[in-house]
Amino acid sequence: MEETESVGASSAAEEIKSSDEAVAFMASIEPEELQRCVFPERLDVLSDGGGVLGEFSLSVEFTRRALQPCMLVHAQSKGAIDGCPCGTTVTAYLTAELEVLEEDYHEFVKLHDHNVEKRCHMVQQNGWMVIDTCSRVGEEVTKGHVSYTMSALRGLVTEGSSMLLMRLIAQRKKVPENTVFIFLDQCSCINLTTFSQLGVKRVEVGDKVTEVFGVQRLVGSVEDSPSTWQCYFLDNGRLAIRKQVGSPVTIRLQQQGPKKIPLVWEEDMQLYSQYLERKEELRAEYASYLREHPEIRTMLSRYLQDLLIVKPDNVCQFTRMHFESSTSRRSSDSKLKTTNST
């Protein structure tokens, strides 16, 4: 197992900074804009031929972390390519200015002869961003640890914060000139990522042709070639298309409107716990009622005894006549007691 460790930003890294326009964009975010970004969405992952390979989901919500109000971004893609299961999960806690408080990234591919897995966890601690990485290829494991001062990461965009940033840009339908942020690549090195405007075009979404607004993100890298992502959004800010240029895979919205997600309540821990609690409450209520009214057991016992003796073909009719006669009998007994008492 290999381990690498680095503390503090290098002089080269310190020279790489976000543009003033990018920092100003983050500072200009209004609470109303964030509120409009709070919604879940789910899209399909498609091959070039249109076949469904998996699904992509993204949700943004308000929450608290260590009693501090913040935004929670959760994104997940899962599916299979060439019969090999693969997926990516990102969970990020962000301030209202998109500053990362904590983020966890997990990517995996299950190949036929071995597995490939990458993890990255970053968290703010005492004015530093502490980053731990772990890569696994089969039995070979490589771990890394690096820390940067928060001042060196001014204007940082991560996998998680970039998704919320895209929603905000889609709302404004405008990307400021020279929108250049810093980000941490897969080697945890500081690099640049640039956002630019692709304009408006018409695309098919389900059975309709609609206008979408495009945003492009260019991602630099120290070791690999730069990558380019293109995203198109509907007027309501929902993602319609997400694609890495050169990749045979496209994330695409197949139908407009919220996609109905079947509820399997037995697999929802909160709902199942509520069900068990309510079940016990009802059992206790029923038992208490039967204790308070012992005549119920007597009535049911007589009914079942008569039913099994007669064995009627029409059970419903027999049941109605049985309880009608019981009601008449109780009414007669009540009148007789009243007459005798007078």
Q: What is the pLDDT along the chain (342 residues), one digit of tens a residue?
A: 656 565 554 444 457 899 999 999 999 999 999 999 999 999 999 998 889 999 999 999 999 998 899 999 999 999 988 889 999 999 999 999 999 999 999 999 999 889 999 999 999 999 999 999 999 999 999 999 999 999 999 999 999 999 999 999 999 999 989 999 999 988 889 999 999 999 999 998 888 899 999 999 999 876 677 899 999 999 989 999 999 999 999 999 988 765 555 666 666 677 777 888 888 888 999 889 889 998 888 888 888 998 899 999 998 998 888 888 876 665 555 544 555 555
Q: How far is CA 84 from CA 43, 49, 110, 261, 268, in A?
A: 20, 18, 6, 25, 28
Kindly report the number of other CB atoms within 10 A of residue 1's CB atom.
Answer: 9
Note whether 171 and 237 are within 8 A (CB): yes
Reading the block at residue 316, the tokens are 């419903």
- Domain ranges in the chain are 2-261, 266-341
**What residues contact 335, with CB distance under 8 A and at least 6 apart?**
none
The structure's pTM equals 0.71
Structure tokens, 229? 């992502």
Q: Is 76 exposed, middle or buried (0-12, 13-18, 19+ CB in 10 A)?
A: middle
State the Cα angle at 112 between 106 and 115, rounded to 5°. 25
